[in-house]
Structure formats: structure tokens, C-alpha cells
């Protein structure tokens, strides 16, 4: 399952429970300031993964997709987390007007769906997770771009 340098992993997720199990393993490895990009088509499981991570951290409330608000803040397990869904982000002006730039303070943990819509506005990802919809289940390609990301993927 692991590549020689542990920076790229491919995981088969036969059902939603497998996605949640992956979320639980990732949640245990999150560090303040981490940036995780979530990629893949609508319905691929990006929000399911975020929900699984937040629940694993003890967040008991509802985790809904921030489709219209673009971001939803969370506090759990002593961590500040931000879940972005940038599917509907229009342009840089909207980004600046919403004050999103100030969110990237090095302490918050970011889960960002549709990061391609904010290219140049958001920091580099420590980890990129790309979901592919299969006839049965999903495949997740997990790629670490930074040393922090690589540490997170170790023995995942």
C-alpha cells in the first residue's frame, strides 16, 4: 500500500465505512497548521471524509457541506479547523471580501474542497487526497507534498 518514500498512497474504499475508517486514521495525525486538499467529483466522498475526521476528534454536532457559506469553522480536540467548499467561489474579489486570507494563520487546520477554484489564494497543501468514483466504492489517492504531510502519512 505504501510507496518507497511514503509520499503517495492509494487506498481502495469499498463503502462509506471504509471512508470513515480512513478519516479516523487521518484525524489522529492532524497537526495545527495542516492544509489538506480534497479533490474529486461531486459525490466522491470529500465531505464524508471531513465529517469522519471531525467526528473522530469528538465533534458531536452536524457537519454539513458549506456549499453557500464557503467555510464552516469547528473547534474539536483542542484544534481549530476550517472546512472550505470552494465549488461556488466566484473570484479573488469574493475571497478577499470574505476575509478568508486572515484564516491562514498557521494554527488552523484546513480541509479544502475544490481548491482549484482558489489557486494562488490558498497555501500549498501538506496532503492532497483525490477520490475516484468506482462502480463499487471509491479509490483515494493520497499524496504528501511537505515533510509535515509525509509524517502524517507514515504508517497510515
Ligand X SMILES: Nc1ncnc2c1ncn2[C@@H]1O[C@H](COP(=O)(O)OP(=O)(O)O)[C@@H](O)[C@H]1O
Which parts of this chain interact with Mg ion (CB under 5 A)?
A: 46-47, 65, 113
Q: Choose the one of ligand X, Mg ion, none that binds residue 18, judging by a C-beta under 5 to 8 angstroms depending on kind.
A: ligand X
> Binding of ligand X at residue 40 (CB under 6 A)?
yes
How big is the CA angle at 62 (ends 74 and 43), to the nearest 5 degrees?
100
Pair 63, 76: CB distance under 8 Å: no
Nearer to Mg ion, 16 or 147 (CB): 16
- Give the torsion sign (CA, 43, 79, 127, 136): negative
> Binding of ligand X at residue 109 (CB under 6 A)?
no
Block residue for cell numbers 479547523? 81
CA separation, residue 38 to residues 62, 97, 143 (Å): 20, 24, 11
Q: Choose the one of Mg ion, ligand X, none that binds residue 123, judging by a C-beta under 5 to 8 angstroms depending on kind.
A: none
Near ligand X in 114-143, by CB under 6 A: 137-138
CB of residue 84 vs Mg ion: minimum separation in angstroms? 10
Block residue for cell numbers 515533510? 147
Which residues are near ligand X by CB under 6 A? 13, 15-16, 18-19, 40, 42-48, 65, 113, 137-138
Amino acid at each position: 500500500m505504501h510507496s518507497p518514500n511514503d509520499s503517495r498512497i492509494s487506498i481502495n474504499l469499498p463503502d462509506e465505512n471504509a471512508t470513515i475508517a480512513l478519516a479516523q486514521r487521518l484525524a489522529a495525525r492532524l497537526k495545527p497548521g495542516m492544509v489538506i486538499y480534497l479533490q474529486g467529483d461531486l459525490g466522491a466522498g470529500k465531505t464524508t471524509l471531513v465529517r469522519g475526521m471531525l467526528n473522530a476528534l469528538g465533534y458531536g454536532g452536524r457537519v454539513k457541506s458549506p456549499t453557500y457559506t464557503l467555510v464552516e469553522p469547528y473547534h474539536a480536540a483542542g484544534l481549530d479547523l476550517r472546512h472550505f467548499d470552494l465549488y461556488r467561489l466566484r473570484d479573488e474579489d469574493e475571497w478577499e471580501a470574505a476575509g478568508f486570507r486572515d484564516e491562514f494563520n498557521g494554527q488552523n487546520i484546513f480541509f479544502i474542497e475544490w481548491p482549484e477554484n482558489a489557486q494562488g489564494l490558498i497555501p500549498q497543501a501538506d496532503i492532497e487526497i483525490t477520490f475516484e468514483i468506482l462502480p463499487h466504492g471509491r479509490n483515494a489517492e493520497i499524496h504528501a507534498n511537505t515533510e509535515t504531510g509525509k509524517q502524517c502519512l507514515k504508517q497510515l
